Amino acid sequence: MIEFSVVTKVFNQGQPNECQALREVSLTLERGGITVFKGPSGSGKTTLLTLVGCLARPTSGRIKLDGRLLSNLPERFLTEVRRHTFGFVFQQFNLIRGLTVLENVMLPAYPLGRPYRELSDAAREWLDRFGLGGKIANPVEWLSGGEAQRTALARALINDPAVLIADEPTANLDSALSREVLALLGELAAQGRTVLISSHDPLVFEAIPVNRVIELHDGQIAGDRRC
């Protein structure tokens, strides 16, 4: 369970370009199911997901994961939580160019020092499952948008995280590819993972069984609907 208590996030604090991305947000996210954060650009969706996923710290307020306070953890422990609890799928895919599909998927597990055979087998398994078995040796630059997004998805799952965070996963895909990726997210949620998606794409609500929709506006929660 993830709890936000009066969380505020300010970028460039004290500078002329100061920007308050989240304003005193309080919410609780339960384990399991699909939660979608919707809202216009600049509403604070991505910021909220970065805070959930320990990619940034709140300026004020408290964030707890299963009752454990995250907002004051040292960087090392925060990485530990990030590594084992969260998997990320980025809007721009953020695959590392020059590496193969397989290497990109294995990358999050490198610091763990898992035996190569075990790690590469796990990566191959995810890639096979996402229909990329024939492309494991290709450099990621050769992939289409849909393939790149599925590779990013496999990478997010390599450390077997409980929570999958997908930031605008369909933003760079056409409708067919979007449906394909959303179907995979739906499958993962059905297997018991918590899936958090930020999106303003209406297709998301059509394609998968969303459990909860949280609407953001100007850094504040403007609506919270359970489906």
Partner 1 sequence: MRDFLEQQKYLIDYTLAALLRRKTRNIGLLLVYTLLVFLFASTLLLGQGLRREAAILLQDAPEVIVQRLVAGRHDLLPAAWLETLRRIRGVGTVQGRLWGYYYDPAVKANYTLMVAPERPLAKGEIVVGAALARVRQIGIGDYLGLRAANGQPLPLKVTGILDTASELLSADLLLLSEASFRALFDFPPDVYTDAVLTVHNPREARTVAEKIVLAFPDSRPILRSEILRTYDAVFNWREGMLFVVLGTLLLTFAILAWDKAAGLSAEEKREIGILKAIGWETGDILRMKLWDGALLSLTAFLVGYTLAWWQVFHGGARLFMPVLKGWAVLYPNFQLTPAVDGQQILVLLAVTVLPYIVATLIPSWRAAIADPDAAMRG
Q: Which stretch binds partner 1 (CB under 8 A): 109-117, 128-136, 187-195, 199-207?
A: 109-117
Adjacent-strand bridge partners of 203: none
Among 35, 46, 151, 170, binds partner 1 (CB under 8 A): 46
Using CB under 8 A as the binding rule, the residues of this chain from 168 to 197 that contact partner 1 are none
Among 14, 15, 16, 76, binds partner 1 (CB under 8 A): 76
Q: Which stretch binds partner 1 (CB under 8 A): 24-32, 79-87, 185-193, 201-209?
A: 79-87
Among 111, 137, 191, 202, binds partner 1 (CB under 8 A): 111
- 19 near partner 1, judged by CB under 8 A: no
C-alpha count within 13 angstroms, C-beta hemisphere, residue 176: 3
CB of 98 to partner 1, least distance (A): 4
SS (H, E, C) the chain: CEEEEEEEEEECCCCCCCEEEEEEEEEEECCCCEEEEECCCCCCHHHHHHHHCCCCCCCEEEEEECCEECCCCCHHHHHHHHHHHEEEECCCCCCCCCCEHHHHHHHHHHHHCCCHHHHHHHHHHHHHHCCCHHHCCCEHHHCCHHHHHHHHHHHHHCCCCCEEEEECCCCCCCHHHHHHHHHHHHHHHHCCCEEEEECCCCHHHHHCCCCEEEEEECCEEEEEEEC
How many chain residues bind partner 1 (CB under 8 A)?
Answer: 39
Among 12, 14, 97, 137, binds partner 1 (CB under 8 A): 97
**157 or 207: whose CB is closer to partner 1?**
157
- 162 near partner 1, judged by CB under 8 A: no
Among 4, 7, 25, 50, binds partner 1 (CB under 8 A): 50
Q: Which stretch binds partner 1 (CB under 8 A): 42-50, 124-132, 189-197, 217-225?
A: 42-50
Among 113, 111, 54, 57, residue whose Cα is nearest residue 81? 54
- 45 near partner 1, judged by CB under 8 A: no
Interface with partner 1 by CB under 8 A: which residues?
46-47, 49-50, 53, 55-57, 75-76, 79-80, 82-83, 88, 90-92, 94, 96-99, 103, 106-116, 155-156, 159, 167
